[in-house]
Each structure stands twice: as C-alpha cells, then as structure tokens.
Amino acid sequence: MANAIPEKIRMNTTLLENLAVVAKDTALLKGVLMRIQETPNSSESVTYAPFTLFPTPVPEAVFSQALAVQTHFNTLVDKISQDAEFLQEALASTIAVDDFTAKLFKIHQQILKEGRSQPVVLGLNRSDYMLDQAADGSSSLKQIEINTIAASFGGLSSRTPDVHRHILKAAGQLKESERILDNNPAAGLARGLAKAWELYGSEKAVVMFLVEEVQRNIFDHRYVEKELWNRNIPTMRRRFEDVSKTGSLDQDKRLFVDGQEVAVVYFRNGYMPQNYISEKDWDARLMMERSLAVKCPNISTHLAGTKKVQQVLARPGVLEKFFPDQAQVVEQIRATFTGLYTLDLGPEGDKTVAMALAAPDRFVLKPQREGGGNNIYGSEICQVLQGVKDSTERTAYILMDLIHPTPVQNYLLRKDTPLKISTCLSELGVFGTYVRKGNDMVMNECVGHLLRTKSSEHSDGGVAAGVAVLDNPLLV
C-alpha cells in the first residue's frame, strides 16, 4: 500500500499530534474555512474545512493528462448543450421514469420553443477522475463524472496548497513541499463570470449567486465573490425563495431580483430534487432560464452533465459525431472513459442486467442524482436490479465499471475527531471555464484542480456530504 506519511515520522505519535495542531491552525490562518454544522447560516462560529494531514502522491503524467483534456471536455459539454436532438434521444428513456430529470427537461424544451433570449453562455464545470490501478502497478486516468452545475471547492482549494507546504516543512520535508503546485480555481471561475458579466453589458447589473438554504460552505463561494468585487463587479446571494418572492422579468426579459438587474445567475443550488421545496421554486428556475441573464449553467448545459449523457457518450461513434475530423481530441477524451453500460429496455440493457447480477462487485449503479451518497454498490446492486429489472424503472440508472485507485495511508483532519490513521482513496477534479457568444468561443480554459480524499470504507460521498476531505496532489 502507498503511504502519504513521511517515513521518518510514521511511528512518532507525539510529532504527528503536534503536526495536526499546526496543520489546523495553518488552515485557519489561510482561510480554509467552513461554518459549523450546528449553525450553518451564521459565521459567528467557524472551523477549518476537513483536510488531509499530508498531501497525496499523484503521478505527474496522469495529472498533466487530466489538465490537458479539460478544454476538450469544455467544448464537448458546450456542443452537447446545443444539440437538442442528441439530448432528446439520450434522455428519452430516463425522463420517462425519472421525475427530476423530466422536470429539467421540460424547462429545456420550453426554452427551445420560445427561443433563447441570451446568446452568451457561461460554463464552469469540474471533471472528476480516479486513478485506476493496473495489475502492473501503473495507474490510468478514469473519469468518474463531469459536474456542469454547482461544482464546488474552487475557492477553498485555492488556499490549501500553502497549508500542505507548511505541514511538509514542519515535518522536515522541505524538498517535497516544493512539489505542491500553486492552484487558483477561484480566480479562473471568476474570470469566466466577469467575462459573462461584461458581455451582458450593464455596469449596474449584478452577478447573482443562487444559493442553498443551508450555507455551511459559504467561504468557498466568498473567494469567487471577492475576485468579482476586486474587479468592481457587484454580487449578491439569493435563494430560490427570494427569486420567487421578489423576482420578475421586464418586457425585454431582463431579470430583476429585489429591484436589482441580474446580469449572471450562478447556480450553486438547484442540482437535486430536495433543492426545490415547492412548485414555486420550479417556477423561479423557469423564470431565470427564460430571462436575458446569462445562466451558469443554462438548463441545456445542466442536462449535458447528467450521468445518462455520460453513458451515451461512451457508445461507439458518439464522440466522433461531436468532433468530426478531430481523431486526436476523440482519442484524448475516450482514453479517460471506463466501461459505461445502458439499462434501456432491449437486448443491450438485458445484457447489462445479467452482467451486473453475475458480478456486482465489479460495478457501481448510478441514478441521475448529484451531491454524493446516491450510488449503489455490491450486493445492493442485486437487490435494486432484482426489483426493477423487468420494468422501465431500470432506465433511471446507468451501470459503470468500478474504478480501483491505489489505497494510500493518511490522516483525515476533521473537527472533534481524534487523530487516527486511515486507508484512503483520492479523486482528482479539474476545473474548466468557458464563455461562448453565439458561435464564438471567447474563452476556453482549464483553471485549476482539486484533490479530495476519503477513507476507503466509504464507497461514496463528497466533502459536503461529510465523507471526503480536501487534499493536494504531491507530484511524483
């Protein structure tokens, strides 16, 4: 098993305890912050966002590969969002049984019918990967998913490199500390928001962060807000309820909320069914989609990030359709795909069911959900599939090969949790920003990365779900 803990200090409990104290203080000093669980909507009590004591070794070649493919993923997402026929076909079986996706799709169709009022499109996405370990010890980059809405931790991950550098120095690992890269996704996400705001073209209009009811992770957002204010771009934070109570469109479809014109709606909420408390929230989403404001993402780009679309993209010939005569781009993207299988009714889906039932431990079963904790693993796959295998209900899911990253020993630092060594698995995220106006891509960039690490006893769940913690790659 690999180890993130420097050899000299592995057995030295006193030193490790001391390092953990220094690490937590440094995280607070550097602003790696979260509100506490008990009072998620107040900044009177804050703590450090959970993180690993040591950075995790990541091979430089795979890391570079992940960064290099990001602008192609940006282009792909953007192309999908403009291909109504593709989305319709890809999602037909899903929306027949999945109410949430169906509701999103209905808004998408209404927008298509009315015609889009805003030619500017802003995408801020995060493509997530695990490094699949081969028998010979080598690892290959495999995509877990791409998040096209509310991808988080671009702010906090801009602050964690300094924390890990400091810990390594304090642990006598000066040379290693230099192998932690600078990272500033917050700046890159803000560049995209700023560009979209500028193209909207009204100095008084604001960038509205559409936020959740429970806002524990507010500091992650604040870094992006601060970058905007540094450019004299005003921002405000509002919930669905605020939009629904005070929002309206004028005769030119300009969106006003609380009397303020909104240039850009940045969705940090709205990606799961529970985010829509009532029909009024759905009405508010529709109003924002219909408006002249730039949406990040717009409804079609949101749909392009569904797991069903991911599965369809892995079918032979589909990437080629989006990138005709660009064999190299297709190759670069496809190299990151692992096995993805349809559960649509018909012989192909039947084959998937049989395969999953025969060897459930080789797969993960995924519904069309976001936010962690929704996937199904191991024997539970059999239970669920036995229940739905002969009905259309099975088409709410896709099946995916289980990826096996190398387990690494590390310590996960969490408020009020005793220091304990854990066997960990990591997931690398890469942030992408793009802005398109009509047919012109005016910006397409890879803007940074995120490493998240969790104990291997958890098969699912992110930082917000309380499972994973923030980390940094230590390039090797």
- In DSSP terms, 400 is beta-bridged to 340, 364
Name which of 94 and 147 has its Cβ closer to Mg ion.
147
405 secondary structure, DSSP code: B
Determine contact, residues 31/159, Cβ cutoff 8 Å: yes
Binding residues for Mg(2+): 145, 147, 370
Please, what is the minimum distance in Å from the beta carbon of residue 448 to Mg ion? 17
- Does 469 participate in binding ligand ADP (rule CB under 6 A)? no
Q: How far apart are CA 120 and CA 294, in angstroms?
A: 6
- Bridge pairing between strands 376-377 and 363-367: antiparallel
DSSP 325-347: T-HHHHHHHHTT---EE---SSH
Look-up of token digits 């920003």 = 433
Name which of 98 and 145 has its Cβ closer to Mg ion.
145
Determine contact, residues 236/246, Cβ cutoff 8 Å: no
Nearest to 94 by CA among 247, 311, 286: 311
Determine contact, residues 449/473, Cβ cutoff 8 Å: yes
Region near ligand ADP per CB under 6 A, out of 1-9, 248-256, 292-300, 400-408: 400-408
Q: Restricting to residues 411-430, name those near ligand ADP by CB under 6 A.
A: 427
Residue environment code for 271-285, b if the CB has 16+ CB neighbours within 10 A, otherwise e: beeebbeeeebbebb
- Does 400 participate in binding ligand ADP (rule CB under 6 A)? yes
- Does 375 participate in binding ligand ADP (rule CB under 6 A)? yes
Binding residues for ATP: 145, 307, 366-375, 377, 400-403, 427, 452, 454, 460
Binding residues: 126, 145, 147, 149-152, 215-217, 268-271, 307, 366-375, 377, 400-403, 427, 452, 454, 460, 463-464
Please, what is the minimum distance in Å from the beta carbon of residue 432 to ligand ADP? 16
Determine contact, residues 252/187, Cβ cutoff 8 Å: no
Task: Tell me the catalytic residues.
Answer: 126, 145, 147, 152, 307, 366, 370-371, 452
Nearest to 199 by CA among 119, 299, 297: 119
Please, what is the minimum distance in Å from the beta carbon of residue 126 to ligand ADP? 10
Binding partner at 445 among ligand ADP, Mg ion, none, C-beta below 5 to 8 Å by kind: none
Name which of 103 and 362 has its Cβ closer to ligand ADP.
362
Among 318, 355, 402, 442, binds ligand ADP (CB under 6 A): 402
Region near ligand ADP per CB under 6 A, out of 48-56, 108-116, 326-334, 399-407: 399-407
Three-class secondary structure of residue 113 per DSSP? helix
Residue nearest to Mg ion (CB): 370
Binding residues for substrate: 126, 149-152, 215-217, 268-271, 463-464
Among 66, 364, 384, 412, binds ligand ADP (CB under 6 A): 364
CB contact set of 467 (below 8 Å; sequence gap of 6+): 372, 373, 454, 455, 458, 460, 461
Residue nearest to ligand ADP (CB): 403
Q: How far apart are CA 463 and CA 453, in angstroms?
A: 9
Task: Return the H-helix or E-strand segment holding 347.
Answer: helix 347-358
Name which of 116 and 458 has its Cβ closer to ligand ADP.
458
- Does 147 participate in binding Mg ion (rule CB under 5 A)? yes
Binding partner at 258 among Mg ion, ligand ADP, none, C-beta below 5 to 8 Å by kind: none
- Does 160 participate in binding Mg ion (rule CB under 5 A)? no
Determine contact, residues 435/443, Cβ cutoff 8 Å: yes
- Does 176 participate in binding ligand ADP (rule CB under 6 A)? no
Look-up of token digits 């290099």 = 68
Rg (Cα) of the chain, in Å, rounded? 22
DSSP 170-201: HTT-HHHHTTSPP--HHHHHHHHHHHHHHHHT
- Does 370 participate in binding ligand ADP (rule CB under 6 A)? yes
- Does 9 participate in binding ligand ADP (rule CB under 6 A)? no
- Does 462 participate in binding ligand ADP (rule CB under 6 A)? yes
Three-class secondary structure of residue 251 per DSSP? coil
Q: Restricting to residues 325-384, name those near Mg ion by CB under 5 A.
A: 370
- Does 149 participate in binding ligand ADP (rule CB under 6 A)? no
- Does 378 participate in binding ligand ADP (rule CB under 6 A)? no
Contacts to ligand ADP by CB under 6 A? 128, 130, 144-145, 364, 366, 369-372, 374-375, 400-403, 427, 460, 462
